[in-house]
A and B are shown apart, each in its own frame.
Chain A
Amino acid sequence: MKVKFWGVRGSIASPGPATVRYGGNTTCIEVRTDNNELIILDAGTGIFPLSQSLLTELPVTANVLITHSHWDHIQGLPLFVPNFIPGNTLRLHGAYDPVTGKGVEQVMSVQLQYSYFPVREAELKARIEYVTLTPNESIQIGSATITPFMMNHPVIDFGYRIEANGKSVFFTGDHEPPPNIYEPQDPEFSEYQSFVDAKTADILQAMAGVDVLIADSSYTRAEYPAKKGWGHGTFDTSIEYAKLAGAKMLFCTHHEPTRSDDALDQVFEQVLLEHPRQAGDPIYRLAKEGDSYEF
Chain B
Amino acid sequence: MQTMPPDLSLKLANAVDGMPAFPKSVEKILQLTRDVNCTPKDIVQVIDKDPVVTVKILKVVNSAYYSLPRQITSVNNAVVYLGFNTIKNLALAIAAIGMMPKHNAADFDVDQYLLHSLSTAGIARKLASQMGDADPMDCFIGGLLHDFGKVVFAQFLPEEFRQALRMSQANKSSLHEALRQTVGVDHALVGAMLVEKWRFAPELIHTISHQYEADQVDTGLFACVFTANQISKQLGFGFGGNPCIHPLPEQVQRRMGGTLEDVIAASDDWSTVFDDAKLFATL
Contact = CB atoms under 8 A, between A and B. Distances in A.
A and B bound? Answer: yes
Interface of A: 96-102, 109, 113-115, 134-137, 150, 152-157, 178, 181-182, 186, 188, 191-192, 195-196, 198-199, 202, 229, 231
A196 B77 CA distance: 8
A98 B86 contact: yes
Main secondary structure of the interface of A (DSSP, over half): loop
B83 A195 contact: no
Contact of A137 (B67, B83, B90): B67
Contact of A150 (B41, B44, B82, B272): B82
A113 B271 CA distance: 13
Contacts of B70: 198
A181 B80 CA distance: 9
B35 to A, nearest CB: 14
A162 B276 CA distance: 33
Contacts of A100: 276, 279
Given A98-B90, A134-B65, A195 B76 contact: yes
Given A156-B86, A181-B41, A229-B84, A136 B67 contact: yes
Given A134-B67, A191-B76, A98 B268 contact: no
Contacts of A181: 39-41, 44, 76, 79, 84
Nearest to A179: B40
A191 B79 CA distance: 13
A101 B267 contact: no
A141 to B, nearest CB: 19
B216 interface: no
Contacts of A198: 70, 80
B41 A136 contact: no
Most chain A CB within 10 A, of B60, B65, B80, B269, is at B80
Given A101-B279, A188-B76, 18 more contacts: A96-B65, A98-B60, A100-B276, A101-B280, A113-B268, A114-B268, A134-B67, A135-B66, A136-B67, A136-B69, A150-B66, A150-B81, A154-B86, A155-B86, A181-B40, A191-B76, A195-B80, A195-B81
B64 interface: yes
A64 to B, nearest CB: 20
Interface residues of B, number: 35
A24 B41 CA distance: 37
A115 B265 CA distance: 11
Contacts of A114: 268
Contacts of B99: none
Contacts of A134: 64-67
Contact of B82 (A137, A156, A231): A156
Interface in B160-209: none
B65 A196 contact: no
Given A98-B60, A98-B90, A181-B41, A136 B80 contact: no
Nearest to A102: B275
B13 interface: no
18 contacts: A98-B60, A98-B65, A98-B90, A101-B280, A115-B268, A150-B66, A150-B81, A153-B83, A154-B84, A155-B86, A156-B83, A156-B86, A157-B83, A178-B80, A181-B41, A181-B84, A195-B76, A229-B84
Contacts of A97: 86
B80 A199 contact: yes
A192 B76 contact: yes
Nearest to B92: A99
B93 interface: yes
B14 interface: no
A136 B81 CA distance: 13
A182 B41 contact: yes
Given A99-B93, A136-B67, A155 B269 contact: no
Q: Which 6 A-B pairs have the closest CB atoms?
A: A101-B279, A154-B85, A181-B40, A195-B80, A99-B89, A96-B65
A102 B271 CA distance: 13
B68 interface: yes
Interface string B250-269: 00000000000000000111
Contacts of A109: 272
A202 B72 CA distance: 14
Nearest to B282: A101
A17 B83 CA distance: 37
B266 to A, nearest CB: 8
Contacts of A196: 80
A134 B86 CA distance: 17
Contacts of A192: 76, 80
A66 to B, nearest CB: 16
